[in-house]
Amino acid sequence: MRHSLPIIPQFYVTAPQPCPYLKGRMERKLFTALQGDHAEAMNDTLSKQGFRRSQNVLYRPSCADCCACLSARIRVEDFVLSRNQRKIIRRNRDLSREVTSAWATQEQFDLFRRYLECRHADGGMADMDTFEYAAMVEETPVRTRVIEYRKPDTGRGRQELAAVCLTDVLDDGLSLVYSFFDPELQNSSVGSYIIMDHVELARASGLPYVYLGYWVPGSPKMGYKARFAALEVYHRGEWRDLGDPEQYSSATHPLSVPPIADQVMKLVMPQQVSAPIDPRRGRK
């Protein structure tokens, strides 16, 4: 006989800071370290409960008076392309995909800098240097892949890098940790193409979900995620079909968030197996 005990990590809360998605609001995160022999089990289990990975940390928004950030995932089996999404695939059909290990390169970093300078010049990652970028990619205790997309060879002997996605392989899906692309290709909707390509990767691998990070109702930055079919959001402790996006407008109500202690108590943790138990123990 063996007795199974839950893995109990320590959870912490960040100090409030300005929300990058909703103007005038403050964000706060619940987080825990991701390390040791049970890192993959933790990543798998907490990802199913709305957490995201950043290097060696798992986090979930836990703001004092707002619960607008909802973890989103695509149900692969039920995903159907829209007419516009088929056009996006045709526009990007010349891109080739290469799956590599979680290893940072100078070519990736150069593209990353161009992407930030064009689209997120005032964001929290704007000052990242090459060492911080390498840490973002390489400091992972779980199954992580770098998926590169390249343009056709134009006669210079190599295919130019067009886009990159840092992707975790979970036990039930692919999780897009961070992606970026050549700003000159933004009219081709490369970001959406990366998501659709991940759906096909997950389908080919027999994985049921593609995790997209957070969808935030009322945030123009996140509105594109609601355009994907078979989208689920993690809301009030369960995954449900997105449905009408307007139904989540009450997520910014000041009484919409349970206390931190209640949130932590309701988390389901992965199990670890302890030493065997002698069935004769305790007998008189």
Can you give the pLDDT at residue 217?
86
Helix 106-119 to helix 130-138 angle (10° resolution) is 110
Can you give the pLDDT at residue 155?
67
Can you give the pLDDT at residue 1?
53
Domains, the chain: 2-276 (3.40.630.30)
Q: Which of 200, 158, 170, 164 is nearest to 185 (CA)?
A: 164
Q: State how far the Cα of 207 lies from the Cα of 241, in Å rounded to an integer.
A: 18
Can you give the pLDDT at residue 275?
44
For the range 4-7, what are the long-range contacts, defined as Cβ-Cβ under 8 Å and sequence gap of 24 or more? 4/271, 4/272, 4/273, 4/274, 5/271, 5/272, 5/274, 6/269, 6/270, 6/271, 6/272, 7/38, 7/41, 7/42, 7/269, 7/270, 7/271, 7/272
pTM beyond 0.85: yes
Collapse the DSSP code of 141 into the 3-class scheme (helix H, G, I; strand E, B; otherwise coil) and give the result. Answer: coil
Can you give the pLDDT at residue 4?
61
Can you give the pLDDT at residue 51?
97
Can you give the pLDDT at residue 90?
96
Q: State how far the Cα of 170 lies from the Cα of 173, in Å rounded to an integer.
A: 5
Can you give the pLDDT at residue 274?
47
Q: State how far the Cα of 278 lies from the Cα of 237, in Å rounded to an integer.
A: 37
Per-residue pLDDT of the chain (284 residues; tens, 9 = 90+): 555 666 788 999 999 999 888 888 889 999 999 988 899 999 999 999 999 999 999 999 998 888 889 999 999 999 999 999 999 999 999 999 999 999 999 999 999 999 999 877 666 777 899 999 999 999 999 999 999 999 987 766 678 999 999 999 999 999 999 999 999 998 999 999 999 999 999 999 999 999 999 999 888 888 899 999 999 999 889 999 998 887 876 666 666 678 888 888 899 999 875 444 444 544 44
Can you give the pLDDT at residue 3?
55
For 191-213, the DSSP string reads HHHHHHHHHHHHHHHT--EEEEE
Q: What are phi and psi of 140, to 5 degrees?
A: -140, 130
Residue pair 140/38 in contact by the 8 Å Cβ criterion? no
